C-alpha cells in the first residue's frame, strides 16, 4: 500500500505553523517548508518558526469588548497552537495579550519539531507547480519572496498589491529614568501598572512633533514609491504629518493616566512602553513604528522625558508587505480559483495582525485536513469573529477596493433586531455580538464533530 500523500505547507510563520499543527492534529502528515535560516528576510532576526517580527502584542484580550479578544477566545476553543503558546508566555500588558517573543516562538517550533506527523524542511520553495504535491498551503506572509510572488501572479493573473509594515523600537528597561517615567495602565486596566509612561508637556510635545517632520527617513527604492501604507500600522512620522494633534489622539493619548511626579496631573501627551520579554528587561515603544534613519531615531526618541539615556535593543525599521486580492482569487475555503490544489493562509490573504494570521492559518489547515479525509468542510458562522474574518477576505469585501483588515465588529452581520428591548449603546452592542458569537460557535463545534463522527462511521463500515 502506498503511503498517504502529505500536505505541503510553505512558510513557518504564525499562519503556516498553525496550519501545520491543525493538519497534524487531524492525523494528516505535513511537510513544513521554511527557508530561514538558509535565507532570511529584511525583517526577521532568527531562523525560529513563528518569529514575531513587529510588536510582541496580540492586542486586546477582552472578549466582550473587542473582536480581537473574541477571536482569542475562539482560537482557544479550537485548540490553537499559537494561542496556547501565547498564553504560556504571557507578559503583563494591561487588558492586552502580550508575550515573551523568544519563549513563544521557541515553544511553537518545539511543538512542531516533536510531532510525529510533521517534517520541517529548511529550504526555499520558488515554484507552486511541483509534481506530486496534491495539496499545498502557501503561508509565506508579507515577505513572500519575489520568485514565489511571481508564481502566484502567474496562476491568478492578478498583480499583487503591496504596502509597508513598520517596526517599533525596543528599549532596555534599566536605561529608562524613573524619576520622570512611571508604571500605569490607562484607566488602571489589567494589573493597573503594566505600561511605562513617559510624559510630555505641551511645549515638549510640539517640539517633538516638529522634529519628526524635519527628520530624515529611509529613502524608498524606485519600485516602492507608490506602495501604500496599511492604515492600522502607520509610521509615527507619517501620523505626525497629518496634523499637530494626531499623535496625542493616537498612540500618545494621555487619557486615563495620572503623573505621580507632577501631583497626579494628567500629562499633555505620553509615550507608553510595553513589556517585551518575560524578564521585563525589554520594553517596546507602543505605536512608534517608524521609517526614520537609525541615527535620527536615537536623537529624537532620547528627547522624550525619561528616555534621555535610553539604550535600544532594536531600532525601528520598515519592510515591504504583499497580499493578494483575495475576494477575486480565493474561494470560500481559501483555495485559489485558478488551481484548487493550493490554499493561501495568513497575511498574504489580506488579513492583518498576528491573531488574524493564525486564525486563517487554522482554517486553512482544517479545510485541507477535511479534504484529505474526504470530508466536506463546515464553514464557521459569519457571526463569529473567525467566520466574519474569513467571509471578509473571501466573499464579503469589494474586490475593487480590497485592503488588509484586522478583526473588528464592523465585519459582523448586524444584530437581527429581535432583542427585547433593542440593544442600545456601543458597549452593550459589542456584548450582544460576542454573546451571539459564542452561541453560534457552540453550534459550529457540534456540527464539525458530527461530520467527523459520520466520516469515521462510514470508514469503519467500508472496512467491514
Over residues 69-122, the pLDDT tens digits come to 999 999 999 999 999 999 999 999 999 999 999 999 999 999 999 999 999 999
Please tell me which residue, 55 or 96, carries the higher pLDDT value.
Answer: 96
Q: What is the pLDDT of residue 376?
A: 94
- The average pLDDT across 285-306 equals 95
Statement: residue 456 has pLDDT above 70: no
Cβ atoms 342, 348 nearer than 8 A: no
Please tell me which residue, 167 or 21, carries the higher pLDDT value.
Answer: 21
Let me know if 464 is exposed, middle or buried by CB neighbors in 10 A (0-12, 13-18, 19+): exposed
Sheet with 57-60, side-by-side order of all strands: 57-60, 96-99, 90-91
Among 134-148, 368-382, 418-432, the range scoring the smallest mean pLDDT is 418-432
Residue 222: CB atoms within 10 A of its CB come to 6
Statement: residue 457 has pLDDT above 60: no
Strand ranges in 173-229 using DSSP code E only, listed in sequence order: 182-183, 195-200
Considering the chain, what percentage of its residues have pLDDT values greater than 70? 91
Task: Please tell me the distance from the alpha carbon of residue 116 to that of residue 407, in angstroms, as a whole number.
Answer: 33
Statement: residue 461 has pLDDT above 50: no
Give the tens place of pLDDT for each residue, 113-148: 999 999 999 998 888 866 678 999 999 987 788 888
Cβ atoms 278, 89 nearer than 8 A: yes
**Confidence tier at 37 by pLDDT (50, 70, 90):** confident
Q: What is the pLDDT of residue 1?
A: 45
Statement: residue 428 has pLDDT above 50: yes
Statement: residue 419 has pLDDT above 90: no
How far is Cα of residue 350 from the mean position of the Cα atoms in its chain? 11
Please tell me which residue, 107 or 454, carries the higher pLDDT value.
Answer: 107
Instruction: List the grid coordinates of 207.
Output: 517640539
Reduced to 3 states (helix: H, G, I; strand: E, B; else coil), residue 96 is strand
Q: What is the pLDDT of residue 151?
A: 86
- The average pLDDT across 37-58 equals 84
Angle between helix axes 81-88 and 14-25 (nearest 10 degrees) is 110
Task: Please tell me the distance from the alpha carbon of residue 108 to that of residue 393, in angstroms, as a whole number.
Answer: 26
Task: Please tell me the distance from the alpha carbon of residue 385 to that of residue 351, in angstroms, as a whole number.
Answer: 13
Q: What is the pLDDT of residue 34?
A: 95
Statement: residue 455 has pLDDT above 60: no
Comparing CA positions, the residue from 291, 313, 342, 83 lying closest to residue 176 is 313
Task: Please tell me the distance from the alpha carbon of residue 290 to that of residue 237, in angstroms, as a whole number.
Answer: 7
Cα diameter, the chain = 82
Statement: residue 194 has pLDDT above 60: yes
Tell how strand 7-10 and strand 136-138 pair up.
parallel
Q: What is the pLDDT of residue 224?
A: 62
Among 113-117, 151-155, 280-284, 303-307, the range scoring the smallest mean pLDDT is 151-155
Statement: residue 223 has pLDDT above 60: no
Comparing CA positions, the residue from 373, 287, 333 lying closest to residue 25 is 373
Find residue 7's DSSP bridge partners.
Answer: 30
Q: Specify whether the backbone of 71 is left (phi greater than 0), alpha (psi in -120 to 50) or beta.
A: alpha
Please, how many CA atoms are within 13 Å of residue 442, restricted to the half-sphere of its CB?
5
Statement: residue 52 has pLDDT above 80: yes
List Cα–Cα distances, 405 to 110, 225, 318, 348, 393, in angstroms: 30, 22, 19, 12, 8
Statement: residue 417 has pLDDT above 70: no
Compute the mean pLDDT over every residue in the chain, rounded to the nearest whole number.
Answer: 89
Please tell me which residue, 233 or 333, carries the higher pLDDT value.
Answer: 333
Q: What is the pLDDT of residue 36?
A: 87
Q: What is the pLDDT of residue 452?
A: 66
Amino acid at each position: 500500500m502506498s503511503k498517504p500523500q502529505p500536505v505541503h505547507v510553505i512558510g513557518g510563520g504564525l499562519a503556516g505553523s498553525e496550519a501545520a499543527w491543525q493538519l497534524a492534529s487531524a492525523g494528516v502528515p505535513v511537510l513544513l517548508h521554511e527557508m530561514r535560516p538558509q535565507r532570511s528576510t529584511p525583517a526577521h532576526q532568527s531562523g525560529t518558526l513563528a518569529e514575531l517580527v513587529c510588536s510582541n502584542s496580540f492586542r486586546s484580550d477582552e472578549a466582550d469588548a473587542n473582536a480581537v479578544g473574541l477571536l482569542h477566545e475562539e482560537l482557544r476553543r479550537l485548540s490553537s497552537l499559537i494561542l496556547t503558546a501565547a498564553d504560556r508566555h504571557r507578559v503583563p500588558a494591561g487588558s492586552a495579550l502580550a508575550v515573551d517573543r523568544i519563549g513563544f516562538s521557541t515553544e511553537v517550533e518545539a511543538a512542531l519539531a516533536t510531532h510525529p506527523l510533521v517534517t520541517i524542511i529548511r529550504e526555499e520553495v520558488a515554484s507552486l507547480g511541483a509534481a506530486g504535491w496534491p495539496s499545498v498551503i502557501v503561508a509565506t506572509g508579507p515577505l513572500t519572496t519575489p520568485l514565489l510572488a511571481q508564481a502566484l501572479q502567474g496562476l491568478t493573473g492578478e498583480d499583487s498589491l503591496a504596502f509597508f509594515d513598520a517596526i517599533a523600537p525596543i528599549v532596555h528597561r534599566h536605561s529608562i529614568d524613573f524619576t520622570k517615567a512611571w508604571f500605569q495602565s490607562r484607566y488602571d486596566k489589567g494589573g493597573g501598572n503594566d505600561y511605562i509612561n513617559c510624559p510630555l508637556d505641551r511645549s515638549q510635545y510640539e517640539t517633538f512633533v516638529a522634529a519628526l517632520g524635519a527628520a530624515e527617513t529611509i529613502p524608498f527604492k524606485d519600485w516602492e514609491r507608490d506602495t501604500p501604507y496599511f492604515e492600522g500600522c502607520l509610521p509615527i512620522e507619517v501620523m505626525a504629518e497629518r496634523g499637530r494633534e494626531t499623535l496625542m489622539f493616537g498612540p500618545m493619548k494621555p487619557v486615563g493616566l495620572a503623573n505621580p511626579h507632577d501631583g497626579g496631573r494628567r500629562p499633555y501627551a505620553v509615550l507608553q512602553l510595553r513589556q517585551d520579554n518575560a524578564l521585563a528587561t525589554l520594553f517596546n515603544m507602543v505605536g512608534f513604528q517608524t521609517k526614520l534613519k537609525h541615527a535620527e531615531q536615537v536623537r529624537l526618541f532620547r528627547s522624550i522625558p525619561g528616555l534621555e539615556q535610553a539604550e535600544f535593543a532594536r531600532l525601528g525599521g520598515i519592510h515591504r508587505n504583499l497580499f493578494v486580492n483575495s475576494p477575486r482569487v480565493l474561494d470560500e475555503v481559501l483555495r485559489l480559483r485558478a488551481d484548487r490544489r493550493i490554499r493561501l493562509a495568513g497575511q498574504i490573504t489580506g488579513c492583518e495582525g498576528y491573531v488574524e494570521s493564525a486564525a486563517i492559518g487554522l482554517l486553512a489547515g482544517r479545510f485541507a485536513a477535511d479534504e484529505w479525509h474526504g470530508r466536506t468542510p463546515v464553514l464557521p458562522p459569519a457571526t463569529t469573529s473567525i467566520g466574519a474574518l474569513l467571509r471578509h477576505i473571501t466573499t464579503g469585501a469589494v474586490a475593487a477596493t480590497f485592503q488588509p483588515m484586522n478583526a473588528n465588529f464592523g465585519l459582523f452581520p448586524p444584530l437581527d433586531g429581535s432583542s427585547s428591548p433593542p440593544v442600545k449603546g456601543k458597549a452593550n452592542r459589542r456584548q450582544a455580538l460576542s454573546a451571539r458569537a459564542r452561541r453560534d460557535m457552540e453550534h459550529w463545534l457540534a456540527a464539525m464533530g458530527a461530520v467527523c463522527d459520520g466520516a469515521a462511521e462510514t470508514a469503519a463500515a467500508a472496512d467491514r
